Amino acid sequence: MFGQRSIDHSAGTHYRSERVSAVNGQYFFSTREGTLEGPYFTRPDAEREIAFYIRRMIQANDIIDSRSF
């Protein structure tokens, strides 16, 4: 799949994959930025945190954009 976010400098290929993984009974999710977030106690907790993470990243980008004159 080809895709480019507005903040990406060049086009790239992004493959859909499972973002939530379990390690020793704890759940983590990976980000496009290459970080591994967690641990969370349950898969639904990790999935909920993905939505919160996306919202935080959008808000951060909005703040940065609003400060660019």
DSSP string, 4-16: --TT-SS-EE---
Residue-level pLDDT at 1: 44
pLDDT at 41: 97
Nearest Cα to 38, choosing from 55, 21, 15, 18?
A: 21
Domain chopping of the chain, boundaries: 2-67
Q: What is the DSSP letter of 31?
A: -
| pTM, rounded to two decimals | 0.68
Structure tokens at 2: 């080809």
Reported as a single tens digit per residue, the pLDDT across 6-54 is 666 666 665 556 889 999 999 999 998 899 999 999 999 999 999 999 9
pLDDT at 16: 58
**Whole-Å CA distances, 26 to 17, 32, 37, 50, 51:** 19, 20, 11, 15, 18
Nearest C-alpha neighbor of 47 from the set 15, 25, 17, 19: 19
